[in-house]
């Protein structure tokens, strides 16, 4: 009862905070101290957002962005998970790739955007490669440490019960490493999402949410900017909560392994 | 697993540093770079790509030396580092205060949490054009944006850290007669410190990742991001690669000499992290 009461109170307070923040913003926007082009009122932003949905332009931009993210992220998963597993299982591969990965990891993906623009031109290829670069490292690292941290006792137990290499891999190592792998996917998606917006801004192609925001700056369309920001935030949030949340619930949480993932 | 165990054993033995072992370890770490460098050279010499776009490593090294001697590269690097540090200092100051406040007071939590959770999931760079519009091109926008973006992990971690301080520690300190100030400085702050440090580390990493891109967009007069972006206009791929090398070195330095040192001196020494 008190738990419930507390929750309602928190909810009401959150609503009040947001309402006050919105009111302050609205007041500033209407006060005329700032140019209306720079600080559009909330109804204007909402109208713009609605208009962009109505003519379908925002959907198309979002589709281009999603295509680039999913392509790059998919590549990162396809390359990162096997590489991480191989690194953890074979020390020769680990010795070769670990120094390379450690040296490349501190280079922010955006530093490579101009280089990739020279090499691959402006457009999808550059953006996808940047996303791929940004998303691969967390994937490799988490898979690697996940496989390495599989409890040796489990391996011995499975071995003693007569599991062969194949079985050991699919029934013990992969499930044992899965909390780390899923954490890795989560982190890499987050990185990919950040990278795609930046890459779209710098390597200005014709479509994409990042490009919309950057392009709107040229025309002082702050309303379009804020509307696109809202869409970007909503998509990122949806993926983080809905997609990865449900993957986690369906796998590691059900197997009772989340504590491992958090610790 | 067998391999992993032997690897750990091998690195452990090497760390105990018989000279031969150490040399072998160094050789093993250099070998991959030699392989990649050789492949790069072969591709560059074979002329598969236009030479301007794919310079040989000697040319990159030569322009690295030339730019360093001329003082251009150090100037860019220093400006970048100053920007990074000022943005991060801003984020640390604001982030830790808001985070601790949120952890301590229910009211502050209710006020800030909705705002923070709405702003945090939006990728930092998406704010860049808005900041440029509001604060103009140049340093102010760049520093503010870096600070704004890297504040979020710091806020979240400080908040979690303060909330994770064991209730029983607080109560026992109180029953031993600690006043609010002592409670804060002797119990809550040390208890939350591992989380806060993690947050600072994440924040600095985030600041570093975004700063380069911000420099490209904000048209600051000096800075490594700007160097790379400007070099593209003149097809100076060698200068670009030299700039990227400096970025990698700074990033590596941050990782090795800042993050790991902080962790070694504080939380690992206090036995709070069982890594």
Report the alpha-carbon distance of residue B47 to residue B252 in Å, rounded: 32
Q: Which pLDDT score, from 0 to 100, does residue B267 have?
A: 63
Q: Within this chain, do residues A100 and A138 fall inside the same structural domain, yes or no?
A: yes
Question: Are the C-beta atoms of A41 and A27 separated by less than 8 Å?
Answer: no
CA distance readout (Å), A22 to A47, A127, B130: 16, 35, 17
Nearest by CB: A17 against B114, B247, B252: B114
Q: Within this chain, do residues B34 and B74 fall inside the same structural domain, yes or no?
A: no
Q: Residue B4: pLDDT band by 50, 70, 90 thresholds?
A: very low
Domain that holds residue A28: 1-34
Q: Domain of B78: which CATH number? A: 1.10.3720.10
Q: Within this chain, do residues A85 and A147 fall inside the same structural domain, yes or no?
A: yes
Nearest by CB: B213 against A118, A148, A198: A198
Task: Please give the mean pLDDT across all residues of chain B.
Answer: 82
Element (H, E) at A68: helix A57-89
Closest by CA to A147, choosing from A171, A181, A102, is: A181
Whether the pLDDT of residue B97 is over 90: the answer is yes
* Domain-located, residue B257: yes
Q: Within this chain, do residues A149 and A242 fall inside the same structural domain, yes or no?
A: yes
Q: Within this chain, do residues B17 and B83 fall inside the same structural domain, yes or no?
A: no
Q: Within this chain, do residues B162 and B256 fall inside the same structural domain, yes or no?
A: yes
Q: Within this chain, do residues A241 and A229 fall inside the same structural domain, yes or no?
A: yes
Report the alpha-carbon distance of residue B217 to residue B229 in Å, rounded: 9
- Number of structural domains (chain B) is 2
Q: Residue B158: pLDDT band by 50, 70, 90 thresholds?
A: very high
Q: Within this chain, do residues A2 and A98 fall inside the same structural domain, yes or no?
A: no
Q: Which of the residues A3, A114, A155 would you substitute to probe the B interface, choosing the one with the greatest number of B C-beta atoms within 10 Å? A: A114
User: How far is A254 from chain B, CA to nearest CA, in Å?
Assistant: 25
Question: Are the C-beta atoms of B149 and B123 separated by less than 8 Å?
Answer: no
Closest alpha carbon within chain B to A114 = B229
Q: Within this chain, do residues A127 and A256 fall inside the same structural domain, yes or no?
A: yes
Q: Within this chain, do residues B220 and B247 fall inside the same structural domain, yes or no?
A: yes
pLDDT tens, chain A, 263 aa long: 456 777 787 788 778 888 888 888 888 888 877 777 778 888 888 888 888 888 888 888 888 889 999 999 999 999 999 999 999 888 888 888 888 888 888 888 888 888 888 888 887 888 899 999 999 999 999 999 889 888 888 888 888 888 888 888 888 888 888 888 888 898 899 889 888 888 888 876 678 888 888 888 778 788 888 888 888 888 888 887 778 777 777 776 666 655 443 43
- Number of structural domains (chain A) is 2
* Domain-located, residue B275: no
Q: Within this chain, do residues B44 and B165 fall inside the same structural domain, yes or no?
A: no
Q: Within this chain, do residues B256 and B157 fall inside the same structural domain, yes or no?
A: yes
Q: Domain of A64: which CATH number? A: 1.10.3720.10
3-state SS record for chain B:
CHHHHHHHHHHHHHHCCCHHHHHHHHHHHHHHHHHHHHHHHHHHHHCCCCCCCCCCHHHHHHHHHHHHHCCHHHHHHHHHHHHHHHHHHHHHHHHHHHHHHHHHCHHHHHHHHHHHHHHCCCCHHHHHHHHHHHHCCCHHHHHHHHHHHHHHHHHHHHHHHHHHCCHHHHHHHHHCCCCHHHHHHHHHHHHHHHHHHHHHHHHHHHHHHHHHHHHHHHCCCCCHHHHHHHHHHCCCHHHHHHHHHHHHHHHHHHHHHHHHHHHHHHHHCCCCCCC
Q: Within this chain, do residues A13 and A125 fall inside the same structural domain, yes or no?
A: no
Kindly report which listed range (B4-8, B76-80, B91-95) carries the lowest average pLDDT score: B4-8
Tell me the chain A residues in contact with residue B35 when contact means C-beta distances shorter than 8 Å: 96
- The ipTM, to two decimals, is 0.76
Query: Is B122 in Cβ contact with A229 (below 8 Å)?
Result: yes
* Domain-located, residue B53: no
Nearest by CB: A10 against B33, B110, B225: B110
Q: Which pLDDT score, from 0 to 100, does residue A2 have?
A: 58
Q: Within this chain, do residues A122 and A241 fall inside the same structural domain, yes or no?
A: yes
Q: Within this chain, do residues B12 and B82 fall inside the same structural domain, yes or no?
A: no
Query: Is A110 in Cβ contact with B210 (below 8 Å)?
Result: yes
Q: Within this chain, do residues B76 and B187 fall inside the same structural domain, yes or no?
A: yes
Q: Within this chain, do residues A41 and A156 fall inside the same structural domain, yes or no?
A: yes
Domain that holds residue B86: 61-268
Q: Within this chain, do residues B74 and B43 fall inside the same structural domain, yes or no?
A: no
Q: Within this chain, do residues B36 and B153 fall inside the same structural domain, yes or no?
A: no
Nearest by CB: A229 against B115, B126, B237: B126
Q: Within this chain, do residues A155 and A251 fall inside the same structural domain, yes or no?
A: yes
Tell me the chain B residues in contact with residue A236 when contact means C-beta distances shorter than 8 Å: 121-123
**Span B193-245, pLDDT tens digits:** 888 888 888 888 888 888 888 888 887 778 888 888 888 878 788 888 888 88
Report the alpha-carbon distance of residue A96 to residue A219 in Å, rounded: 50
**Span B36-85, pLDDT tens digits:** 888 888 888 887 777 777 888 888 888 888 888 888 888 888 888 999 99
* Domain-located, residue B16: yes
Report the alpha-carbon distance of residue B216 to residue B224 in Å, rounded: 9
* Domain-located, residue B274: no
Whether the pLDDT of residue B111 is over 50: the answer is yes
Q: Which pLDDT score, from 0 to 100, does residue A75 have?
A: 95
């Amino acid at each position: 009862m008190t738990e419930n009461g507390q929750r309602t109170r928190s909810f009401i307070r959150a609503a009040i905070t947001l309402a006050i923040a919105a009111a302050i913003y609205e007041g500033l926007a209407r006060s005329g101290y700032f140019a209306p082009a720079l600080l559009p009122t909330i109804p204007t932003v909402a109208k713009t957002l609605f208009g962009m949905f109505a003519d379908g332009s925002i959907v198309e931009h979002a589709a281009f962005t999603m295509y680039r993210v999913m392509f790059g992220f998919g590549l990162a998963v396809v390359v990162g998970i096997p590489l991480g597993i191989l690194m953890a299982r074979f020390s020769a591969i680990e010795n070769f790739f670990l120094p390379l990965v450690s040296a490349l990891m501190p280079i922010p993906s955006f530093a490579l955007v101009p280089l990739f623009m020279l090499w691959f031109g402006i457009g999808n290829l550059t953006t996808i490669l940047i996303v791929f670069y940004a998303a691969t490292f967390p994937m490799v690292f988490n898979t690697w440490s996940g496989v390495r941290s599989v409890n040796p006792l489990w391996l011995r137990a499975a071995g003693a019960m007569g599991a062969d290499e194949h079985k050991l891999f699919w029934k013990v190592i992969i499930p044992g490493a899965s909390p780390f792998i899923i954490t890795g996917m989560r982190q890499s998606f987050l990185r990919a999402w950040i990278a795609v917006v930046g890459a779209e801004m710098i390597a200005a192609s014709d479509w994409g949410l990042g490009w919309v925001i950057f392009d709107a700056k040229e025309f002082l369309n702050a309303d379009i900017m804020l509307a696109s920001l809202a869409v970007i935030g909503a998509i990122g949030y949806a993926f983080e909560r809905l997609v990865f949340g449900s993957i986690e619930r369906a796998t590691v949480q059900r197997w009772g392994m989340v504590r491992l993932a958090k610790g | 697993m067998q391999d992993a165990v032997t690897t750990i054993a091998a690195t452990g033995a090497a760390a105990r540093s018989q000279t031969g072992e150490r040399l072998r370890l160094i050789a093993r770490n250099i070998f991959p770079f030699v392989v990649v460098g050789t492949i790069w050279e072969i591709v560059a010499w074979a002329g598969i790509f236009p030479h301007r776009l794919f310079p040989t490593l000697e040319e990159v090294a030569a322009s690295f030396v030339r730019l360093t001697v001329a003082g251009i590269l150090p100037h860019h690097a220093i400006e970048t580092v100053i920007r990074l540090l000022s943005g991060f200092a801003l984020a640390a100051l604001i982030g830790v205060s808001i985070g601790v406040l949120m952890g301590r007071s229910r009211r502050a939590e209710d006020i800030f949490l909705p705002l923070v959770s709405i702003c945090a999931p939006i990728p930092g760079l998406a704010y860049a054009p808005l900041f440029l519009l509001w604060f103009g091109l140049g340093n102010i926008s760049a520093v503010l944006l870096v600070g704004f973006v890297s504040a979020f992990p710091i806020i979240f971690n400080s908040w979690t850290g303060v909330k994770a301080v064991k209730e029983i520690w607080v109560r026992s300190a109180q029953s031993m007669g600690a006043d609010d100030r002592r409670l804060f400085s002797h119990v809550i702050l040390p208890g939350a410190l591992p989380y806060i440090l993690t947050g600072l580390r994440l924040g600095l990493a985030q600041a570093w990742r975004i700063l380069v891109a911000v420099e490209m967009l904000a048209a600051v007069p000096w800075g490594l991001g700007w160097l790379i972006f400007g070099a593209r206009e003149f097809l100076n791929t060698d200068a670009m690669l030299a700039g990227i090398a400096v970025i990698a070195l700074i990033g590596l330095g941050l990782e090795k000499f800042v993050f790991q040192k902080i962790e070694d001196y504080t939380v690992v020494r206090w036995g709070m992290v069982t890594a």
